[in-house]
Amino acid sequence: MPLDTFLPELYAETPSLAGSNRVAVAGPWITEAEVAAVTDAVTSGWYGNATSHIVAFEEAFAQHTQRRFALSTPSCTAALHLLLAGLGIGKGDEVIVPELTWIATASPITYVGATPVFSDVDSVDWCLSADTLEACITPNTKAAIVVDLYGNMPNYHQLQAVADKHGIVLIEDAAQSIGAMYNDKPAGAYGQAAVFSFHGAKTLTTGEGGMLVLDDEDLYNRCVILRDHGRIPGEPRLFWQNDVGFKYKLSNIQAALGLAQLQRLPSLVSRKRALFNLYQQHLGHVEGLTWSNEGDKVCHSHWMSTVFLDAALGWEKIPLMETLRDRNIDVRPVFYPLSQLPAFSGYATQMQQAKARNTTAYHLSPYGINLPSALCLEDKQIIDASEALAGLLLK
């Protein structure tokens, strides 16, 4: 989908971060609409209204993602843990995840006692592909978690065909992709279920928070019970539990903020895409840069403006990040391969196999950076950051 088709005049009033001389890598855009919504929740969202904003947020989010049900949670990690527990995934099961993602995609797999299997990513969209997924499926595979990396989306039709062929559950990790679309359907609409993050760095924020969206009513009811310490809704004994569950709820105040942000989502995504467009315009003369590819059927939400450097430019990500930070330009490294992290040293066999198999992820990671993508940034800050980066790369 052409970039300019999603750049309407939705952000005439560009947000700013008063008093800061740093070019921030991530952060929200909060207006009077959000302040009013949170104020209403603080002043009237108690007693009989204690869940009013939660219900409204969940219903609106389900509608946005074209799902039957939505369950708000304190984080995306909690949403994924809740889903895996609801699916009954546990010891002896394997769940496939892509190498290039935040650890929270894989850590809930270990919470339920299952084994994470680290898959390579596609060299074009940097997400799981049908081929990279199928290469990792074994008789023990129960599910695969597909990550919409940095707001991009892979070919879900091909991925679902592989999942159906092998009888495994496909889960969409849409933590980074609110507002993105694939084949005219929104992020969150694919797989048996999807999860979202509303961390303060995300495009849509509740400060901290997450959402689980799905269509299966039985699975939804199971997750509702597990989300509230195993308590069945409407149980007259009130403090009677049949299961050991979790305390995975979002607050009414957070939900009010989330609903106000959701109502402004087109503006938020439009601004993110505009930031990415500015980087491409002002770094287009620098050879050896690979930008996140947007397929014909994809509307990339560009949570992060991400670029990979050709090794011939002579910079790996950490030295480049440190140099830019010295100039008050905050950048982040592209995720390290999960199979490289000491956190997963207890899965030695999986790590060894992944390091030998996942050549694309290991090739990309050392040279990838997230450029400043905060919604508070002004155009001039993006242009200045682009010129600073170009100056380093063209020396």
DSSP 249-300: ---HHHHHHHHHHHHTHHHHHHHHHHHHHHHHHHHTT-TTEEEPP--TTEE-
pLDDT category at 2 given cuts 50, 70, 90 is very low
Domain 3-15+265-393 has CATH 1.10.357.10: no
Alpha carbons 167 and 175: distance in angstroms, whole number: 25
Buried b / exposed e over 318-349, threshold 16 CB at 10 Å, is eebbeebeeeebbbbbbbbbbbbeeebeebee
Answer yes or no: is pLDDT of 3 > 70: no
Q: Domain limits of the chain?
A: 3-15+265-393, 32-263
Alpha carbons 389 and 310: distance in angstroms, whole number: 14
Reported as a single tens digit per residue, the pLDDT across 275-333 is 999 999 999 999 999 998 888 899 999 999 999 999 999 999 999 999 999 999 999 99
Reported as a single tens digit per residue, the pLDDT across 181-204 is 999 999 999 999 999 999 999 999
Residue type at position 49: N
Question: Is this model's pTM higher than 0.85 or not?
Answer: yes
Q: Which two tokens stand for residue 270?
A: 């439009």
Contacts of 82 (CB under 8 A, 6+ apart): 71, 73, 212, 223, 226, 227, 246, 248
Reported as a single tens digit per residue, the pLDDT across 101-135 is 999 999 999 999 999 999 999 999 999 999 999 99
Sign of the Cα pseudo-torsion (319, 324, 328, 330, in order): negative
Q: Are 210 and 193 in contact (CB under 8 A)?
A: no
Phi, psi values for residue 115, rounded to 5° = -110, 125
Buried b / exposed e over 274-298, threshold 16 CB at 10 Å, is bbbbbbeebbeebebbbebebbeeb
Q: What percent of the chain has pLDDT over 70?
A: 95
Q: Can you give the pLDDT at residue 15?
A: 56
Instruction: Pick 6 or 351 by higher pLDDT.
Output: 351
Q: Which fold has domain 32-263?
A: Aspartate Aminotransferase; domain 2 (3.40.640)
Q: What's the gap between Cα 63 and its chain centre?
A: 19
Answer yes or no: is pLDDT of 34 > 80: yes
